[in-house]
Amino acid sequence: MQANIRLEKEYLEDTRSNLRKIRKALTALEKNTKDTAALDILMTRAHRVKGDSMLAKHFTMALLCHPMEMLTFRIKNDKKRLTKPILEFFEDIYINIMGCYKVIKKKEHFCLDPEFLQRLAGFDKAPGTKKLIKEYDDACQEVSR
């Protein structure tokens, strides 16, 4: 019983630490979208989400609910560094959580439309959220086999 509580505390602290780092990176990207150090932090945190649906949800929330007018990720330049499921996870977040937001696709950027930020109150109930996380978990398990 004690071991379970200790593990849960460690897990929560690890999640908080991840979220703090994600938020810090998002704030840095808000000031400068070409901040490669912040983008690196975001990508490494994304890798830690693998196979952990709760952290995947937290990561998605932190990513989508960051209060900014527009956040641009230069995904094209990072494709070399991202594993396929991670890249698909990012693309799914931007494209497949239906009814939450619109995406403006440009040649090398995914730009988030500010309108979606006001429509995320019911994120847990948004169509596709559970399915997205399950598909992401499945993709990660396939890669690790």
* Tens-place pLDDT, residues 52-90: 555 555 555 555 544 332 333 434 444 444 445 444 555
Tally of domains within the chain:
1
| Full domain range(s) for residue 121 | 2-144
Cα four-point dihedral sign 108, 113, 114, 120: negative
Whole-model pTM: value is 0.37
List pLDDT tens digits, range 82-115: 445 444 555 555 443 332 333 333 333 333 444 4
pLDDT above 50 for 11: yes
- In angstroms, the Cα distances linking 77 to 15, 27, 40, 50, 107 are 28, 20, 12, 21, 11
